[in-house]
Amino acid sequence: MRVCLIPLKTEPRNPAANFECLVQRLDEVAPQRPDLICLPEGGLTGYLYDEADFARFAESIPGPTTEQMGQLARRHRAYFCFGLLERAESGVYNSAVLLDRTGRIILRHRKIEEQPPFIVGDTVDNVDTELGRLGILICGDLFDEETVHELDRSLDLLIVPMSRPFSEEMPGIDHWISWERQVYLEAVRAAAVPTIIVNALEMNTGDPSFGGAMIISADGELLAESPVGTDRALIWDSHAENN
């Protein structure tokens, strides 16, 4: 399985521009023929949490964004995982979906560790695919003990889209290596399943997400990393790691 994590450089509230950026990034990685392409939490809108933004950008699943992404899945013959604002009868969820190579929705996760005005999810599911058994958590879910307890420990891969800022203001790279990054490795070790994390690189925000991506083994070992502060795609071949 060849995985491609894209810490998409996102301009909040500008999905059209972000989609064009995504199309360009996909053209760049297409020659490597990834099997699974993963995007951050918030997908094409950025991480938004105001009622006014919900009114403008939340949509149903399936809906326009899942159809748009489905076209990309078919074009690149790859599985796609991405976050979006989901409008349902009960309210708005912070959700992520997984599409198969035909663009069909095969898994949806509604974020559990989330704050109002979002409605929170209450299930942790998985799906068996040709790539193995896949599951999704979103950002803070990975750090919630009860949510992690619900994970199927037979997962071949846990996908974690994020839109997460540093816990301290503008830490240096030494701080990231010595402490901040370790928080994520320990969370995956507690989950005890192989995990991929992809974070948004948000532009023009007061509390920007810091980009980067990581591949982490079930025992919390860092297998590969795309540098924080960048939107550099991370491509990882699980077969190469196993051989």
Report pLDDT digits (tens) over 176-206.
777 888 999 999 999 999 999 999 998 665 5
User: CA–CA separation, 28 vs 26, rounded Å?
Assistant: 5
Which residue range(s) make up the domain with 56? 2-242
Over the range 92-115, which residues count as b (16 or more CB within 10 Å of their CB) and which as e? Answer: bbbbbbbbbbebeeebbbbbbbbe
Concatenated DSSP letters of 179-232? IIHHHHHHHHHHHTS-EEEEE-EE-S-SS--B--EEEE-TTS-EEEEEPTT---
pLDDT tier at 210, thresholds 50, 70, 90: confident
Number of domains forming the structure of the chain: 1
- Return the pLDDT at 130: 98
Tokens of 200: 């948004």
Provide the CA 27 distance to its chain's centre, in angstroms.
20
pLDDT single digits (tens) 125-168? 999 999 999 999 999 999 999 999 999 999 999 999 999 876 55
Q: What's the pLDDT score for residue 77?
A: 98
* Nearest by Cα to 83 from 22, 160, 152: 160
Q: What is the mean pLDDT of the chain?
A: 93
Residues written for the chain: 243
Classified as helix, coil or strand, 38 is strand
Contacts 24+ apart (CB under 8 A), 98-101: 98/127, 98/134, 98/136, 98/159, 99/66, 99/69, 99/70, 99/73, 100/73, 100/129, 101/73, 101/74, 101/77
State yes or no: pLDDT of 111 exceeds 60. Answer: yes
pTM above 0.75, yes or no: yes
What digits encode the pLDDT tens for the residues 52-108? Answer: 999 999 999 999 999 999 999 999 999 999 999 999 999 999 999 999 999 999 999
Return the axis-axis angle of helices 15-29 and 64-76, rounded to nearest 10°.
Answer: 10
**Confidence (pLDDT) at 207:** 61
CA distances from 164 to 18, 178, 197 (A): 18, 18, 11
Which CATH number belongs to the domain containing residue 88 in this structure?
A: 3.60.110.10
